[in-house]
Structure 1
């Protein structure tokens, strides 16, 4: 006669049946070390323009502040391992590289839908209260996932799993149940520092510490203004996010390719032609990226990124695509177009007569930026 499954075992079985690849349980609390790291991150201003990080600081430090009745957290994860090494895409300089997680549907929708399915079952069958969170809520999900045994926070600050490498989406179910927690995962990074050394913009001032202001993911997605000149050449052809520190992790050798159709890369989001993307107006941008997380950045920020990639392509063939945007309605786009135009050999005297934006004029005055440019 076998023992009846525990509550935790029943919850894990239900979560896996819902499609999650990893499940762990922890207490509704964040350790002192993780709180100190968050405090230092915000105090140093390393969150950049992400004001919500500072605004929700207290709630992130303590899940009980977010929901005082919470006793346990069920951490659920889904694998989104790409079909090939994203680092190989960086050689295709006429193409735009989109981070692996954004090459199909917005993961928030699918993860939250499945979390709610498990949470409804818990509420009905286990007589408890539940709340679900996916990424956008003020939850320190990576420390919670580590304490739940799903993985550990690597030196790149992202979660690493012995089974799934660095390719996991996370979601949490907070509950009033007082569940037995799983054993926390230990750090298996050892002396490896590949993720730190590969970063094109030196965004890691120390292991386990990220300065978002230097991170290409932040610069291409969260940053609203012109990308600082010092980072543009390093962006290469990355137009939305950056996978470098994730892709180089040696634990990825154990990761499987994503099973979910929603996480398999769409053909039109896999190495799209930069010249084609540069021509998108707002309506075409919205149509092309419908259902994708890219849509939230808006057309102007996205085309800014595309123009920087065109400027890094090192070929004069890109000049017509760039020149067509020197008179764009958006000053953000025009400024990036000027940088790319001059970098590819365009003449400073080609400045449109009607230009009067101070930042765009400064781009014309700065002249060509030849850092890292292959001729």
Structure 2
């Protein structure tokens, strides 16, 4: 452990650069310093978003509006926010329009390994401890998509990237396949400067969305979003979206896969993000065979736990309904009837109907 040097003896710029290097050494892909300045400019657009119901049943988004507008209310005494990001790709992405196996089960790339919330918070705590060993005591609190703040706006204000038309942050040299985290601190550090946006006239992410969830540039209607429908939503998924969901059983990467900036996407250096239990190569039928015990075992420490067993089976049933006709699929669906809750059974019935329709078409050729 290095000897503690009183904070007042540090040159703020030098301390900032030292912190950034520690962050990189811990596996963070980038680190910038933001100030907890007022986010009031974000509020009118956010209130309009809520008023239009685009947040679906994520009613918690309407809570703590005062803290969203003023991050200093969230952690009193905060003078600087250390903003970091982690790349989570384990291999360069294939664009969605490249031919894929329709019977494969697609899980969003961020969710194939360990829950990034745990990874992010753990390393932010280590970063705080490293700083403490260097400069002495200071106040700090880590967040990873877990606080009522305008997270992307804070990162954007310090040059982490710009918000793309799909509403995700884009970094010019790394694309958008990364997750964000923050360390609120009482340290008074020089802030970084924002960068310019570079989406231009491109609308690829808007055009590719299977359910037209990006209703206008920079505005996402969660009620139509596959990520929301397959993860957050626990009810009966409207039929109008089921075909668009295709074989995606947890989340969706399409708007990122089509983005030209992701030709520069970087792979992760963090082993925790590597797929567990073959989640990057399982078929829909493989997952359909999982019972709740297997689900709980294979999703321990995984973000997939968030959706719950029954909703996961609901999503797989939709995928099987969208798959090419197969006697194995039809038999598996019929065998699964009445083994789940009412919501899952609604989707099983739909999937069986879809499979029968495809069978009729095959026989009529």
TM-score by length of 2: 0.90
Shift of residue 293, structure 1, vs aligned partner: 0.8
> CA–CA distance in 1 between the matches of 2:292 and 2:275?
23
Counterpart secondary structure, 1:73: strand
Contact 2:12–2:189, Cα closer than 8 Å, also in 1: no
1:289 pairs with 292, 295, 299, which one?
299
2:80 pairs with 72, 76, 79, which one?
72
Q: Does residue 37 of the first structure (1) align with residue 48 of the second (2)?
A: no
Contact 1:148–1:184, Cα closer than 8 Å, also in 2: yes
More displaced 10-residue stretch of structure 1: 10-19 or 28-37: 28-37
Q: Does residue 111 of the first structure (1) align with residue 124 of the second (2)?
A: no
Shift of residue 35, structure 1, vs aligned partner: 2.5
> CA–CA distance in 1 between the matches of 2:340 and 2:349?
14
Shift of residue 136, structure 1, vs aligned partner: 2.0
Mapping of 1:225-304 within 5 angstroms? 225-266=235-276, 268-304=278-314
Q: Could you report, residue by residue, the CA deviation over 1:175-196 in whole angstroms, capped at 9, with x for unpaired residues?
A: 1122211001211111111111
Q: Does residue 312 of the first structure (1) align with residue 325 of the second (2)?
A: no
Contact 2:277–2:298, Cα closer than 8 Å, also in 1: no
> CA–CA distance in 1 between the matches of 2:24 and 2:238?
44
Shift of residue 124, structure 1, vs aligned partner: 4.1
Q: Determine the structure 1 residue equivalent to 2:220.
A: 210
> CA–CA distance in 2 between the matches of 1:62 and 1:163?
30
Unmatched runs of 5 consecutive residues or more in structure 2: 1-10
Q: Does residue 328 of the first structure (1) align with residue 336 of the second (2)?
A: no
Contact 1:73–1:174, Cα closer than 8 Å, also in 2: yes
| Higher relative contact order, structure no. (Cα contacts within 8 Å, ≥ 6 residues apart) | 2
> CA–CA distance in 2 between the matches of 1:298 and 1:304?
10
Q: Could you report, residue by residue, the CA deviation over 1:207-232 in whole angstroms, capped at 9, with x for unpaired residues?
A: 01111111000000000101111100
Q: Determine the structure 2 residue equivalent to 1:129.
A: 139
Instruction: Tell me the C-alpha RMSD between the 2 structures.
Output: 2.1
How has the CA–CA distance of structure 1 residues 146 and 4 changed in structure 2, closer, same or farther, with 3 Å as cutoff? closer
Q: Does residue 22 of the first structure (1) align with residue 30 of the second (2)?
A: yes
Q: Determine the structure 2 residue equivalent to 1:85.
A: 94
Q: Does residue 97 of the first structure (1) align with residue 106 of the second (2)?
A: yes
Contact 2:12–2:190, Cα closer than 8 Å, also in 1: no
> CA–CA distance in 1 between the matches of 2:196 and 2:149?
21
How has the CA–CA distance of structure 1 residues 283 and 89 changed in structure 2, closer, same or farther, with 3 Å as cutoff? farther
Q: Could you report, residue by residue, the CA deviation over 1:118-174 in whole angstroms, capped at 9, with x for unpaired residues?
A: 112333433421111111222222111111111111111101001210111111011
Q: Determine the structure 1 residue equivalent to 2:193.
A: 183
Counterpart secondary structure, 1:120: helix
How has the CA–CA distance of structure 1 residues 65 and 43 changed in structure 2, closer, same or farther, with 3 Å as cutoff? farther
Contact 1:123–1:129, Cα closer than 8 Å, also in 2: no
Q: Determine the structure 2 residue equivalent to 1:62.
A: 70
Unmatched runs of 5 consecutive residues or more in structure 1: 347-367
2:349 pairs with 338, 359, 372, which one?
338
Contact 1:23–1:74, Cα closer than 8 Å, also in 2: yes
> CA–CA distance in 2 between the matches of 1:231 and 1:4?
52
> CA–CA distance in 1 between the matches of 2:65 and 2:233?
20
More displaced 10-residue stretch of structure 1: 209-218 or 11-20: 11-20
